[in-house]
Structure 1
Amino acid sequence: MSGAALLGYAAVLSLCGASWLRDAGWTSRAPRLAIFTWFSLVASVLLALVAAGVLLIVPATGFHHGILDFIGACLATLEEQYGLVGGALLGGLSFVLAVGLPVLFAGSGAAEAISASMTRRRHLRGLSASARPDRRTGALVLDHDTAAAYCLPGRGGVVVVTTGAMRAVDGGGLAAVLHHERAHLAGRHHVLTALAHALHRPLCFLPLFAELPEQIGHLVELRADDVAAAKSGRRVLAESLLAFAEASVTPALALPAAGADTVDRMRRLITAPQRLNRPGAVGIAATGTVAMALPIVVTVLSLATVTYMACCSS
């Protein structure tokens, strides 16, 4: 029953969680909290699926006689309750959830990390031949007519700005854009976006996972905007984003100053929405934490109950 309940919980959250977060008005007011909430719901779904895979095959007689006896009891219980075919199907589903799913996500994460590392090294090799360091800004300057700025992760990170950008904005505007890019590096936003893509691939048919990369990509931009605006001013940053709106020279790995959501970001910077109050922020953070803890608590209580019943019966 606990395994079935966790499967239902994971289904509801993976189908409805994305629309709830997407339509929530507070996410643009507290982007860092929204990032935490997105990942907490995703983690809750994954924990629920893995826990359901374990609990669906745990025999009610317990598992205190060793691992081989435990496996035999699991198979016997499934065959007794669901028949040979039904037991085999449920056992296969449990194996996929409890073992296959973690392996699948681990492989996706490793592939994403390797791909990002190779892309970064390849782009840095190209920059070493075409870009020059600028001591005034601390960035690498790339000769290109398009106004663009972006950052590349790594040891300390690298901020790249084009000569077109240096002509398009004044000193204050350029400083605001550089603050934005360095906020990406300081917040390790490349890790968050890479994690979102890694989590997206195995379960991309579920809305919560399908929308994850786009939503995290948007939210890290809002967070970097907030950090940069605190140092340079909201209107200065908004005017600079307008000059960078047509940037087309950034590599796939980079986090550029401007992107597809530039208009929405400019509107948000100019209107300066009211920050989320502390009670609201605490409540949302608590909800995300409870969502992650719930599958673990259910699993621990269920296994403890099975163990207690087995001990009493013996």
Structure 2
Amino acid sequence: MIVPLVLAGYAAAAVIVLPRLLSWGEWAERAPRLALGVWLASCASAVASAILAALAAAVPPSVVAHGLAGFFQACAAMFSHGAVPAFPGLLAALAGAGLIAARLTYCTAAVLVMAGRERREHSDMLNLLGRHDGELDAVVLDHEVPAAYCLPGRQGRAVITTGAIQSLPPEQVAAVLAHEQAHLRGRHHLVIAIVEALVRAFPRLPLFIRARSEVVRLVELLADDVAARRHARIHIAGALVRLATGRAPAFMLGAGGETALTRVRRMLSPASPLGRRERLAGLAAIGALLLGPAIVAAFPGVTALLAHHCHHLSIF
């Protein structure tokens, strides 16, 4: 029972400790893509540990060593004869793992369905009120408030208001639309949907709450960096200043918003990127977060399997 306790203890500690560790320093602003991977891997690690803890409690190492097929056959035989399962707490452990997976699946589907409905309704509105500008490769919406955002989906579209076009010089309009196109190409709405589903599935847990706010911030930083590859940072910063008060509709990604002013500072005074060692350390952390729970869960079964074969070899 050591492995289930280790996995469960890690899952409980991770949702409290990891948000504090990952929020230390300004490394995320220097490598937003890597930071996104670390936050998502941390969330996946905590959920996987909870599920694997239940499965490890339900399936003894000897069962893993001799094959799961024989285990399921034995269970079927016991239930068919009305026998009580030989492993105490088996059904409760399996039910716990299934409940966690089912809860997350349901909330993910709910978030995707709700977001899809909102986007379809907004798309219908754009078809009626907006007009496509081939030169800008965006939908222009008649509205006096300067704003720019993207409508994700299979036929994703960048949207900009006439207020933004009139108040921004052409180079800033091009920069902000490049920002929105970066959101569409990167499918950032799906990343945000993942953390939103985690918050809904497991509310009030610090890791998922902080991950949601950080992921929303990091996708904006990442889109800024992609736009900065082709447009001057001063133009992106100028557009962000003018669009800071603009609000994107629900389930959309906008260039303005609460993070705009901090992103202006980042565009004007960019920090040095992470070094090679720091990036390798970040990639190693992602690998450890993703593979660690599986390795811990499989270790007893692999050990039992090796011990079983070594015993037979010693006989011969």
TM-score w.r.t. the length of structure 1 is 0.89
Equivalent-residue separation in structure 2 for 1:160 and 1:186 (angstroms)? 15
Cross-structure match for 1:151: 150
Conserved 8 A contact 2:180-2:255? yes
Is 1:41 the counterpart of 2:42? The answer is yes
Conserved 8 A contact 1:140-1:158? yes
SS in 1 for 2:267: helix
Equivalent-residue separation in structure 2 for 1:57 and 1:310 (angstroms)? 21
Q: Identity rate of aligned residues, in percent?
A: 34
Conserved 8 A contact 1:6-1:295? yes
Cross-structure match for 1:16: 17
Conserved 8 A contact 1:173-1:236? yes
How do 1:191-270 and structure 2 match up within 5 A?
191-248=190-247, 250-270=248-268
How do 1:55-70 and structure 2 match up within 5 A?
55-59=56-60, 62=63, 65-67=70-72, 69-70=74-75
Equivalent-residue separation in structure 2 for 1:267 and 1:230 (angstroms)? 17
Gaps of 5+ in 1: 79-86
Conserved 8 A contact 2:61-2:300? no
Cross-structure match for 1:76: 86
RMSD value over aligned CA atoms? Answer: 2.1
Change (3 A) 1:61 1:34: closer
How do 1:300-311 and structure 2 match up within 5 A?
300-307=298-305
Conserved 8 A contact 1:150-1:161? yes
SS in 2 for 1:150: strand
How do 1:19-30 and structure 2 match up within 5 A?
19-30=20-31
Q: How many Å apart are 1:306 and its aligned residue?
A: 4.3
Equivalent-residue separation in structure 1 for 2:45 and 2:5 (angstroms)? 15
Q: How many Å apart are 1:66 and its aligned residue?
A: 3.8
Cross-structure match for 2:271: 273
Change (3 A) 1:60 1:124: closer
TM-score w.r.t. the length of structure 2 is 0.89
SS in 1 for 2:159: strand
Q: Deviations over 1:265-294 (max 9, x none)?
A: 111111111111111111111111111101
Gaps of 5+ in 2: none
Conserved 8 A contact 2:31-2:274? yes
Equivalent-residue separation in structure 2 for 1:60 and 1:211 (angstroms)? 36
Equivalent-residue separation in structure 2 for 1:210 and 1:134 (angstroms)? 38
Cross-structure match for 2:130: 131
Count of residue pairs the alignment pairs up: 301
